C-alpha cells in the first residue's frame, strides 16, 4: 500500500515531501536571504497544500547554488546557526513539519563544509551532518569529520542523511543502516549525466540495507544553462521504486514509507538479510556465522594503508585539474 503517495496515509506511515527545488542564482548575501525565504515559503505551502506531510526535504545546494565562482567567497557561505537556517527552522515550527536542508558552511579553520541539517516540527535541530565524500575533483569542500549521525524522526523513523556523491559509495548507506537508520535521505545537485547512476544506487542502497531511501536533486538550469535533474525517488526495502519524480523545478514529490516495515524485514527475513549476514557469514554451516573481516580493503583502510592496485597510475589526485589549485591541508590518517 502507498496511501496514494501520502494523501491517505497508511497506519504508521511517514509522509515525505521531496522538493525538486530550482537552482538558485546567488551573487550576493541578499540572494542567500531571498533564497532561504523562498524555500521557507515552499515548506509552509507544501504543508498547507498537503497536511499529511511529515518531513519536507530540500536538495543539496538549494540555498547556495551551483556556481563554483561563488563557493569560496566567505560572504556567500552560511553558518549552522546563521540567519538562513533560522528562517528555515522558523518555517518548520510555524508549519508544524520536519525539514531537511543544505548549506555550504563556513569553516574558520579551513575549506568550507557541505553540510545538511534536519530540524523537527518545533524548529529544533535534530541532525547535523558534514558531507563525507565531496564530489572530487569538482568540489572544494573539506571532507566531513563527524561520521554519519542518525536521529529519531516522525512515525517511528530513524533518519540518516547522506549527500549526493556519498550515495555512490555503498559503505555510506551501510554505515547509516548499521547505526539503525530505517529511512536514508539523500540530497543532491546532480545534473542529467548522473541520472542512471542515481537511480541504480538509490535502489541498491535500499535493498542492500533493508532501508527506505528517499532522494531528491535540484532541478532546472544553472548559470550556464546546464540542467540539474530533479528526479526525486523513494525506494522500498527490496529496491522497488515506489515514487519517481521528473525534472520539473519546484515540484513537490510526495510519498509514504512505513518505517516499521523496514524494522520487521531486518528481523524476519531469512535470505537476503544482507546487512545482518555480512557479519554472520555462512551461519547455516557455522553456529552464529563467521564473524571475521575477510575484506582486504577494510583492513587496509583501518590501518591507514588503503591503496588500489593502480594507485600510482591515477591521474586525478587533487583539485588542480578542476581549477582549485593544490590542497592546503595535509592528508589525515
- Residues marked active site are found at 60, 131, 164
CB 153 within 8 A of CB 126: yes
Enter the DSSP assignment of 234.
E
The burial of 329, by beta-carbon neighbours within 10 Å (0-12 exposed, 13-18 middle, 19 or more buried), is given as exposed
Distance of CA 27 to the CA centre of its chain: 25
Task: Compute the distance between CA of residue 134 and CA of residue 115 in angstroms, rounded to an integer.
Answer: 11
Give which of 65, 177, 43, 48 is closest to 120, Cα–Cα. 43
Using left for φ > 0, alpha for ψ between -120 and 50, and beta otherwise, residue 43 falls in alpha
Using left for φ > 0, alpha for ψ between -120 and 50, and beta otherwise, residue 79 falls in beta
Task: Compute the distance between CA of residue 126 and CA of residue 89 in angstroms, rounded to an integer.
Answer: 11
Task: Compute the distance between CA of residue 113 and CA of residue 106 in angstroms, rounded to an integer.
Answer: 7
Exposure of 280 in the CB half-sphere (CA atoms within 13 A): 12
Task: Compute the distance between CA of residue 307 and CA of residue 23 in angstroms, rounded to an integer.
Answer: 37
Enter the DSSP assignment of 22.
B
Work out whether strand 212-217 and strand 219-221 pair parallel, antiparallel, or are unpaired: unpaired
100: three-class secondary structure by DSSP: strand
CB 183 within 8 A of CB 284: no
C-alpha cell recorded at residue 304? 591507514
Amino acid at each position: 500500500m502507498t496511501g496514494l503517495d501520502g494523501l491517505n496515509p497508511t497506519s504508521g506511515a511517514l509522509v515525505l515531501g521531496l522538493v525538486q527545488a530550482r537552482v538558485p542564482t546567488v551573487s550576493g548575501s541578499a540572494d542567500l536571504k531571498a533564497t532561504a525565504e523562498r524555500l521557507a515559503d515552499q515548506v509552509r505551502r507544501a504543508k498547507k497544500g498537503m497536511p499529511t506531510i511529515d518531513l519536507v526535504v530540500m536538495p543539496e545546494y538549494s540555498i547556495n547554488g551551483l556556481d563554483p565562482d561563488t563557493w569560496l567567497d566567505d560572504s556567500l557561505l552560511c553558518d549552522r546557526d546563521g540567519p538562513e537556517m533560522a528562517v528555515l527552522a522558523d518555517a518548520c515550527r510555524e508549519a508544524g513539519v520536519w525539514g531537511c536542508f543544505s548549506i555550504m558552511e563556513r569553516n574558520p579553520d579551513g575549506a568550507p563544509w557541505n553540510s545538511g541539517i534536519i530540524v523537527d516540527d518545533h524548529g529544533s535541530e535534530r541532525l547535523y551532518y558534514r558531507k563525507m565524500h565531496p564530489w572530487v575533483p569538482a568540489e572544494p569542500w573539506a571532507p566531513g569529520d563527524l561520521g554519519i549521525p542518525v536521529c529519531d524522526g516522525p512515525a517511528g523513523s530513524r533518519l540518516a542523511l547522506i549527500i549526493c556523491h556519498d550515495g555512490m559509495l555503498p559503505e555510506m548507506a551501510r554505515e547509516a543502516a548499521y547505526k539503525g537508520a530505517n529511512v536514508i535521505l539523500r540530497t543532491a545537485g546532480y545534473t542529467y549525466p548522473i541520472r542512471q547512476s542515481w537511480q541504480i544506487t538509490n535502489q541498491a542502497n535500499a535493498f542492500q540495507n533493508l532501508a527506505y531511501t528517499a532522494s531528491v536533486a535540484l532541478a532546472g538550469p544553472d548559470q550556464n544553462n546546464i540542467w540539474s535533474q530533479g528526479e526525486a525517488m523513494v525506494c522500498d526495502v527490496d529496491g522497488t521504486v515506489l515514487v519517481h519524480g521528473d525534472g520539473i523545478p519546484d515540484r513537490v514529490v510526495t510519498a509514504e514509507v512505513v518505517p516499521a516495515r523496514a524494522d520487521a524485514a531486518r528481523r524476519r527475513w531469512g535470505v537476503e538479510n544482507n546487512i545482518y549476514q555480512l557479519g554472520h557469514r555462512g551461519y547455516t554451516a557455522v553456529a552464529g556465522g563467521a564473524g571475521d573481516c575477510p575484506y582486504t580493503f577494510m583492513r587496509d583502510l583501518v590501518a591507514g594503508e588503503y591503496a588500489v592496485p593502480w594507485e600510482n597510475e591515477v591521474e586525478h589526485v587533487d583539485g588542480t585539474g578542476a581549477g582549485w589549485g593544490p590542497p592546503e591541508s595535509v592528508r589525515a590518517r
